[in-house]
Structure 1
Amino acid sequence: MPQLDPTPWLTTFSLSWLIFLTVIPPKIMAHVYPNEPSPLGMKKPQAKTWTWPWY
Protein backbone atom coordinates (compact mmCIF):
# COMPACT_ATOMS: atom_id res chain seq x y z
CA MET A 1 0.00 0.00 0.00
CA PRO A 2 1.71 3.22 -1.08
CA GLN A 3 -0.13 5.39 1.48
CA LEU A 4 1.72 3.71 4.33
CA ASP A 5 5.18 4.35 2.89
CA PRO A 6 6.48 7.25 5.05
CA THR A 7 9.47 8.09 2.87
CA PRO A 8 8.07 10.88 0.64
CA TRP A 9 5.47 12.12 3.13
CA LEU A 10 7.76 12.40 6.12
CA THR A 11 10.16 14.61 4.17
CA THR A 12 7.34 16.81 2.91
CA PHE A 13 5.82 17.08 6.37
CA SER A 14 9.18 17.92 7.97
CA LEU A 15 10.05 20.57 5.39
CA SER A 16 6.66 22.21 5.62
CA TRP A 17 6.92 22.47 9.42
CA LEU A 18 10.45 23.78 9.11
CA ILE A 19 9.13 26.57 6.87
CA PHE A 20 6.21 27.27 9.20
CA LEU A 21 8.46 27.52 12.25
CA THR A 22 11.34 29.51 10.76
CA VAL A 23 10.00 31.77 8.00
CA ILE A 24 6.46 32.69 8.94
CA PRO A 25 6.73 33.72 12.66
CA PRO A 26 9.28 36.52 12.08
CA LYS A 27 7.08 37.91 9.30
CA ILE A 28 4.06 37.93 11.59
CA MET A 29 5.96 39.39 14.55
CA ALA A 30 7.37 42.19 12.37
CA HIS A 31 3.89 43.36 11.44
CA VAL A 32 3.11 46.87 12.67
CA TYR A 33 -0.40 48.19 12.94
CA PRO A 34 -0.81 51.52 11.11
CA ASN A 35 -3.02 53.11 13.78
CA GLU A 36 -1.84 52.43 17.29
CA PRO A 37 -4.49 53.20 19.89
CA SER A 38 -3.64 56.15 22.08
CA PRO A 39 -4.95 56.68 25.61
CA LEU A 40 -7.58 59.38 25.82
CA GLY A 41 -6.80 60.33 29.38
CA MET A 42 -7.55 59.29 32.92
CA LYS A 43 -10.82 61.22 33.12
CA LYS A 44 -13.99 59.31 32.38
CA PRO A 45 -16.32 60.97 29.88
CA GLN A 46 -19.55 62.26 31.35
CA ALA A 47 -22.59 60.34 30.25
CA LYS A 48 -25.54 62.47 29.21
CA THR A 49 -28.86 61.57 30.74
CA TRP A 50 -31.60 60.49 28.44
CA THR A 51 -34.80 62.45 28.71
CA TRP A 52 -37.72 60.28 27.73
CA PRO A 53 -40.56 62.33 26.25
CA TRP A 54 -43.26 60.02 27.66
CA TYR A 55 -41.90 59.69 31.17
Structure 2
Amino acid sequence: MTGLALGLRLQELADKLGISKKTVEKQIASAKKKVGANTREQAVAIAINHKLIQS
Protein backbone atom coordinates (compact mmCIF):
# COMPACT_ATOMS: atom_id res chain seq x y z
CA MET A 1 0.00 0.00 0.00
CA THR A 2 2.81 2.41 0.74
CA GLY A 3 4.07 2.11 -2.81
CA LEU A 4 0.60 2.83 -4.14
CA ALA A 5 0.30 5.81 -1.81
CA LEU A 6 3.58 7.10 -3.22
CA GLY A 7 2.20 6.80 -6.74
CA LEU A 8 4.32 3.90 -7.93
CA ARG A 9 3.03 1.94 -10.90
CA LEU A 10 2.41 -1.79 -10.55
CA GLN A 11 5.52 -2.71 -12.55
CA GLU A 12 7.62 -0.32 -10.44
CA LEU A 13 6.32 -1.99 -7.28
CA ALA A 14 7.02 -5.43 -8.72
CA ASP A 15 10.57 -4.47 -9.68
CA LYS A 16 11.22 -2.89 -6.28
CA LEU A 17 9.90 -5.96 -4.43
CA GLY A 18 11.46 -8.50 -6.78
CA ILE A 19 8.13 -10.12 -7.62
CA SER A 20 5.95 -10.30 -10.71
CA LYS A 21 3.41 -7.66 -11.65
CA LYS A 22 0.73 -10.37 -11.42
CA THR A 23 1.71 -11.07 -7.80
CA VAL A 24 1.44 -7.36 -7.01
CA GLU A 25 -2.04 -7.30 -8.56
CA LYS A 26 -3.11 -10.31 -6.48
CA GLN A 27 -1.74 -8.80 -3.27
CA ILE A 28 -3.53 -5.52 -3.94
CA ALA A 29 -6.78 -7.38 -4.64
CA SER A 30 -6.38 -9.26 -1.37
CA ALA A 31 -5.70 -6.05 0.57
CA LYS A 32 -8.72 -4.35 -1.01
CA LYS A 33 -10.93 -7.23 0.02
CA LYS A 34 -9.59 -7.23 3.59
CA VAL A 35 -10.31 -3.53 4.11
CA GLY A 36 -13.59 -3.53 2.15
CA ALA A 37 -12.39 -1.23 -0.61
CA ASN A 38 -13.60 -1.21 -4.21
CA THR A 39 -10.61 0.62 -5.67
CA ARG A 40 -6.89 0.91 -4.99
CA GLU A 41 -7.38 4.54 -4.10
CA GLN A 42 -10.03 3.62 -1.54
CA ALA A 43 -7.75 0.96 -0.05
CA VAL A 44 -4.92 3.48 0.32
CA ALA A 45 -7.25 6.02 1.95
CA ILE A 46 -8.54 3.41 4.40
CA ALA A 47 -4.99 2.31 5.22
CA ILE A 48 -3.96 5.91 5.88
CA ASN A 49 -7.06 6.62 8.00
CA HIS A 50 -6.38 3.53 10.11
CA LYS A 51 -2.70 4.47 10.39
CA LEU A 52 -1.63 1.27 8.64
CA ILE A 53 0.62 3.40 6.44
CA GLN A 54 1.86 6.96 6.84
CA SER A 55 0.77 9.65 4.43
- TM-score for both structures, normalised by structure 1: 0.30
**Greater C-alpha radius of gyration:** 1
**Could you say which structure has the greater relative contact order, defined with CA pairs below 8 angstroms and 6 or more residues apart?**
2
Specify which structure has the higher proportion of helix. 2
